[in-house]
A and B are shown apart, each in its own frame.
Chain A
């Protein structure tokens, strides 16, 4: 899976270069990448355009194009993403019933495993493995959050506890 995580990291760096939160993702089907995506939140002014959702949409388009049954396709997909999917993405991936999720670093602000046990809420268990090249994924995030999110309005910074 290391090579696939490298492809996800490539996507994350692409997001960084575009001024987006640097998270990247690829969907792997039968050892082949069928969808790749990076965060596109700022460009579309839509806070739900996370890398995973870009890949979900690409997969649905791929299925339409090749006339493949989407439900079955998702059940055979391994999600490789640089940061632990957030609660929203994790809920979507659980509901779509992907085969497996492999992620890099944890997301302690709104991770779909660390903060909320999404599998328990949705009522679907899938295999989730974290910690794959976590340091590199985290370094990208840290680098990004040192600067400010260019799309967010300038609001007083929260005080550190």
Chain B
């Protein structure tokens, strides 16, 4: 063991799934490139003449050039100094290092047998990446059970998976039977798996895509909603505990009249606006930790899942970020899609909210 430490051992009892197995499960997480690629950077390294130099070299390097934290600094007497990109065009490595006031013997050691090596650009997210990166240069790795489960599909229980796939099926049917084959979307409160809102796009030109309508219909369930829709919406009965105001009547009636959907639950938690903020845990099963929906009540699409027939475009994808949706599930890729096809909006780090994205890999006709 050297000073950088090696990653803790991880039980390897689960084989990585083949593509075939992924398809069988019907849903795949759309992970950012950080989970897929093995990015490499070029770094200057030197070779120590004796092991005695090790301690002083490492000590000064970690103080003066503290980057490359995700890598082991030393490997077979080779020491990583700094990325080649950090050094200006008109500068040699030695000139660059002199700016950091290394002691004379360390500077000499760092300039001995210098070469450029390719090393991992960042810490691996998944074990499979770790194993590949290790072939380039030893790196650190913090195994994350949830990340691994997203990749191999074990993040969903069987009953959750059944529900998600049922929503995919519902999207196909609602589009065909109620919305003339145009896109539809469903918003679900996953705590009690209640359908909060359903929306279908009507026009081809303009900006009233189904995600834009959906977030506005969710707003209706919170005594908001800006669009002056010609649709009629479900009214709430007196003393109802949840609200159906986010549901257009056409979709609601279709589902209520359909034998196969009698077990579906509808309604959003009532907005707590205007009431003193209570620290109520609505559902202790899911309410543990920082679940803002349970803690503070409905606010935009916080904590809600959104199911879409079509991959959303950039406008819609960002609308769902603004609305703070928890997870996006979609069935069909779109030519202008911004989660897989043209872009991965959810992988943009600068954004102030990030949702998870899942794509159905079955066509929705399967149960």
Contacts and interface: CB of A to CB of B under 8 A. Distances in A.
Whether both chains belong to one complex is answered with: yes
Given A91-B314, A122-B336, A48 B215 contact: yes
A108 B299 CA distance: 24
Contacts of B225: 44-46
B73 to A, nearest CB: 25
Contacts of B231: none
Task: Please tell me the size bucket of the interface on A.
Answer: 35 or more
A48 B216 contact: yes
B216 A118 contact: no
A45 B206 contact: no
Contacts, number: 103
A154 B207 contact: no
Contact of A154 (B296, B336, B351): B296
B318 interface: yes
Contacts of A91: 313-315, 318, 338
A108 B314 CA distance: 18
A90 B7 CA distance: 44
Nearest to A111: B350
A95 B322 contact: no
B314 A121 contact: yes
Nearest to B297: A153
Interface in A127-161: 151-155
Interface string B153-167: 000000000000000
B100 to A, nearest CB: 24
Contacts of A60: 206
A153 B280 CA distance: 14
Given A40-B226, A70-B206, A121-B343, A47 B351 contact: no
B223 A92 contact: no
Of residues A44, A86, A118, which shows the largest number of chain B Cβ atoms within 10 Å of its Cβ? A44
B304 to A, nearest CB: 13
Interface residues of B, number: 39
A44 B296 contact: no
Given A47-B300, A110-B352, A153-B297, A71 B205 contact: yes
B318 A70 contact: no
A49 B226 contact: yes
A95 B313 contact: yes
B226 A44 contact: yes
Of residues B219, B299, B300, B314, which shows the largest number of chain A Cβ atoms within 10 Å of its Cβ? B314
Contacts of B319: 47-48, 88
Nearest to B207: A92
A96 B207 contact: yes
A66 interface: no
B323 interface: yes
A121 B342 contact: yes
A108 B219 CA distance: 27
Contacts of B295: 153
A44 B224 contact: yes
Contacts of B223: 45
A27 interface: no
A122 B342 CA distance: 8
Contact of A46 (B226, B277, B296): B226
B179 to A, nearest CB: 21
Contacts of B324: 47
B348 to A, nearest CB: 6
A155 B296 contact: yes
Contacts of A48: 212, 215-216, 319, 322-323
A95 B212 CA distance: 15
B277 A153 contact: yes
B345 interface: yes
A49 B321 CA distance: 13
B222 A45 contact: yes
21 contacts: A44-B216, A45-B219, A45-B300, A47-B300, A47-B319, A48-B215, A48-B319, A88-B315, A92-B207, A95-B313, A95-B315, A95-B336, A110-B318, A110-B321, A115-B348, A116-B314, A116-B345, A121-B314, A121-B343, A122-B314, A151-B299
Interface of A: 40, 43-49, 53, 56, 60, 70-71, 86-89, 91-92, 95-96, 108-110, 115-116, 118, 121-123, 151-155
Give 3 nearest A-B pairs by CB, closest first: A45-B224, A88-B318, A153-B296
